[in-house]
Amino acid sequence: MFVDVAKIRIKAGDGGNGAVSFHREKYIAAGGPDGGDGGRGGNIVFQADTNLSSLIDFKYKKKYTAQNGQNGSGKRCTGKSAPDLVIRVPKGTLVKDAETGRIMADISGADPVILAQGGNGGWGNSHFATATRQIPRFAKSGAAGESFEVTLELKLLADVGLVGFPNVGKSTLISVVSAAKPVIANYPFTTLTPVLGVVRLDSDTSFVMADIPGLIEGASEGVGLGHEFLRHVERCRLLVHVVDVSGCEGRDPIQDFAAINRELHNFSEELSQRPQIVAGNKCDLASPEQIETFRQEVEKQGYLFFPITAATHQGVDELIRCVAVKLAELPPIREYEPEIIPMDTPAKKGKRDFTVRVEDRVYIVEGSWLMEAFGMVDLDDEESLQYFQRVLRDTGIIARLEEAGIQEGDTVSILDIEFEYVR
């Protein structure tokens, strides 16, 4: 089964928690805090794999979670960082944010790409010792790893894309110019998946050709099979438009040519501007008048035309040589740049965002980072409470509460912990 779109959830590992520990050793007085830091959580890494040609694996497994970092321990021992989780995908896979559609990465190169960062380990209590706070009984929790729901979209990496109506001879053409072995039969929609073939002219010249399953009129709106595979044409540097000039299927070749170009334009205006060579196939079944009429129409629109009979290899060599010459003049296969998150989106405003709302005279403070900051605060320890209050002040929570009209004696709720506000 060929699958070229899949949706999965990825979750990087959380950082390990810092340790609360004190050095105790015989004959050593006042050993002091020696809690170690937590280890870093594992990243989610995507890697292109040339042995894969479909996203079928992601049809059955939908969640990918990296390991968490280990917690710190005494004697200032740092917890072990977790290994990265490597997800292998076919070359040419786009990774998009499922919620916004933003392109996060184009997995087309050999280098691995980190898509979700593991959380940093929390500090142990040894970091919080000061001249006035010599026995800190608190440490920081590890940061949460990034989590995304992403859409994987495979766009084949091919230099040349064969487009045209079903049963016009695209599969036959790719089979005679490359080692590809598509299914060939005399009925529409024989090819149900894109087929790639390497065309070699000599030891120094070769290119990749893709047989895109047959398009029909209305494909860009979801009619037939073609709409499922139009995305694979987007990376092609050059299109070879194959048309049955004989009309043996009962269709008008000029109308077919116009219909396919219309579908390409409807799908993507940029795609409709892609360089295109027209191959008039099945010339052995067409009359000279049919071929000449079609040639005049195509060349009037500014396209190069090659009459061929793919089944007998007639005219194919001239077509392929022209394709190679055109490719040498064109830029390389397109790679998509990751789209940067705009500065005005919540994800770019910083990790210290929070909200204050009032319900039944209780001031509720909420923010995704609060657990990281207060998760290991010991509210029964005076020094830990002082640290807690300083963070409230430094992050602007106190100022925001005062703007909201809080008065001394009012109740504040943070992480479902309620306390009385005192100026």
Looking at residue 282, which CATH number applies to its domain? 3.40.50.300
Based on the domain organization, do 223 and 128 belong to the same domain? no
> Which one-letter DSSP state was computed for residue 120?
P
Based on the domain organization, do 114 and 177 belong to the same domain? no
Half-sphere exposure of 124 (CA within 13 A, CB side): 24
**Chain-centre distance for alpha carbon 160:** 24
**Range name among 18-22, 49-53, 378-382, 403-407 with the lowest pLDDT average:** 378-382
Task: Give the mean pLDDT of 337-352.
Answer: 56
- Does the pLDDT of residue 95 top 90, yes or no? yes
Which residue is associated with the tokens 């060579």? 277
Residue 342 lies in a domain: no
Give me the pLDDT at residue 83, please: 96
Query: Is the whole-model pTM more than 0.85?
Result: no
Average pLDDT, the chain: 83
Parallel, antiparallel or unpaired: strands 44-49 and 93-97? unpaired
The residue from 127, 155, 183 where one domain ends is: 155
In angstroms, the CA 226 to CA 361 distance is: 60
**Which residue segment(s) compose the domain that 42 sits in?**
1-155
CB contact at 8 A, 260 and 241: yes
Based on the domain organization, do 88 and 49 belong to the same domain? yes
Cα-Cα-Cα-Cα dihedral sign, residues 43, 46, 52, 56 = positive
Based on the domain organization, do 252 and 395 belong to the same domain? no
Q: Where are the alpha helices (DSSP H) in 182-278?
A: 253-267, 269-272
In angstroms, the CA 210 to CA 197 distance is: 6
Based on the domain organization, do 116 and 221 belong to the same domain? no
Task: Give the mean pLDDT of 166-182.
Answer: 82
Tell me which residue of 34, 39, 118, 31 sits closest to 76, measured CA to CA: 34
- Does the pLDDT of residue 209 top 60, yes or no? yes
Token pair listed for 197: 């073939």
Based on the domain organization, do 177 and 312 belong to the same domain? yes
For 44-74, the three-class secondary structure string (H helix, E strand, C coil) is EEEEEECCCCCCHHHHCCCEEECCCCCCCEC
Greatest mean pLDDT among 184-198, 210-224, 253-267? 253-267
Interval 53-77: pLDDT, tens = 788 889 889 999 999 999 999 888 9
Based on the domain organization, do 44 and 132 belong to the same domain? yes
Interval 283-312: pLDDT, tens = 999 999 999 999 999 999 999 999 999 999
Task: Give the mean pLDDT of 18-46.
Answer: 86
Q: How many CB atoms lie within 10 A of CB 289?
A: 8
Sequential DSSP letters for 222-245: T-TTGGGTGGGGTT-SEEEEEEET
Residue 343 lies in a domain: no
Residue 324 lies in a domain: yes
Residue 340 lies in a domain: no
Give me the pLDDT at residue 347, please: 47
Q: Where are the alpha helices (DSSP H) in 61-179?
A: 170-177
Which residue is associated with the tokens 């399953």? 213
* Phi, psi (deg, nearest 5) at residue 322: -65, -40
Give me the pLDDT at residue 348, please: 44
Give me the pLDDT at residue 228, please: 61
Q: Is 93 strand, coil or helix?
A: strand
Residues 6+ apart with CB under 8 A from 151: 5, 6, 7, 95, 96, 97, 98, 101
